[in-house]
Structure 1
């Protein structure tokens, strides 16, 4: 897991995900979100960045969301097309680093994917995510830390201070930092991760605070 987005072959990893359970972060995001639908009965909107074969996207759809799902791996397109035929899911195959606009959303989920966005594209994608998230919306994401084995590659690996700076304007429901030696899809690895669950206070406030990040915390 030490290469970034468009240059890495995610197909073997995604194929191995067949049959696994929904990730706990996705379940926690749904539980933290406000009740789906408004008084007119419209569905709320969720974004799944790095959707893989759609396990979490299916869970979001079955929890009452219209889901916009994105992944760089073209091998997942048939599975996502099958899911879209059954559930309100729209899928696009693209490199997350190329995203410059997202639909307005009540929930944004990204499980173990944002670290593969190159550092020089990360802040642009992050800003786009903040602009898409509605006030009161839930953000549920994984980051990799600066002591992770992947640090120093062309992904994005953050210090605790950098993570906290990016959560200005949010009510942080949980920020779970973990460091351990363990297994990865590519073999033994030292992991340093942050799992974030947060609620947006104000879209305007989040955008303003993000734009004023200290220079040391911006993409290098």
Structure 2
């Protein structure tokens, strides 16, 4: 369980409405670890991931918990459901830059008033910068958050590992609230 998901769920926990449970959208859900946590925390969860290999795992989860999975490329996603919490752990940076702005607009539109946005973004000094994705300067991240209440904006640079070996990470961890 990623700390970003846990913190976002805590902040959005009071979002249940009289007419329905709180909703969460997870972009890039992988095998559903965070989705399972969010559903167990009382959210109705909508997941989006383009990886066909996880569909069976998500289908199994959907029979046990209020999780609704969509297989889709985030760069071509036409819309998102209205949500109290939008979570994306280390997925948005892989959206090609030409499609990122439109996706970000859909993310902002999906947030209900006082909804929580919790995302990881990659910075311009990340080792993968220059590859097909979106890598941002701090000023770019701050501009994306304009009009939101920033609860956390943590920039980190560190050397570590990735699935392909050693890597220099430049990341932004963002938690914000819609007004």
Question: What's the TM-score, normalizing by structure 1?
Answer: 0.80
- Quote the residue 1:35 is aligned against: 14
Q: Is the 8 A contact 1:36 1:64 kept in 2?
A: no
1:92 to 1:39, Cα distance in 2 relative to 1, 3 A: closer
For residue 144 of structure 1, the aligned residue among 103, 113, 122 is 122
1:77 aligned onto 2:55? yes
For residue 142 of structure 2, the aligned residue among 164, 172, 186 is 164
Moved over 3 A (4+): none
User: Which structure has the larger Rg over C-alpha atoms?
Assistant: 1
For residue 164 of structure 2, the aligned residue among 182, 186, 210 is 186
- Quote the residue 2:67 is aligned against: 89
Q: How far apart, CA to CA, are the structure 2 residues paired with 1:45 and 1:172?
A: 21
- Quote the residue 1:107 is aligned against: 85
Q: How far apart, CA to CA, are the structure 2 residues paired with 1:37 and 1:144?
A: 31
Q: Displacement of 1:166 after TM fit?
A: 0.4
Q: Displacement of 1:24 after TM fit?
A: 0.5
Q: RMSD of the TM alignment (CA)?
A: 0.9
- Unpaired runs of 5+ in structure 2? none
Q: Displacement of 1:35 after TM fit?
A: 1.2
Q: Displacement of 1:172 after TM fit?
A: 0.6
For residue 64 of structure 1, the aligned residue among 20, 42, 53 is 42
Q: How far apart, CA to CA, are the structure 2 residues paired with 1:93 and 1:34?
A: 27
Q: Displacement of 1:39 after TM fit?
A: 2.9
Question: What's the TM-score, normalizing by structure 2?
Answer: 0.98
- 1:122-177 C-alpha deviation (Å, 9 max, x unpaired): 00000001111011000000000000001111100000000000001111111110
More strand by share: 2
- Quote the residue 1:118 is aligned against: 96
Q: How far apart, CA to CA, are the structure 2 residues paired with 1:181 and 1:160?
A: 19
1:26 aligned onto 2:5? yes
Q: How far apart, CA to CA, are the structure 2 residues paired with 1:149 and 1:132?
A: 31
Q: How far apart, CA to CA, are the structure 2 residues paired with 1:37 and 1:180?
A: 38
Q: How far apart, CA to CA, are the structure 2 residues paired with 1:23 and 1:180?
A: 18
Would you say how many aligned residue pairs link Structure 1 and Structure 2?
179
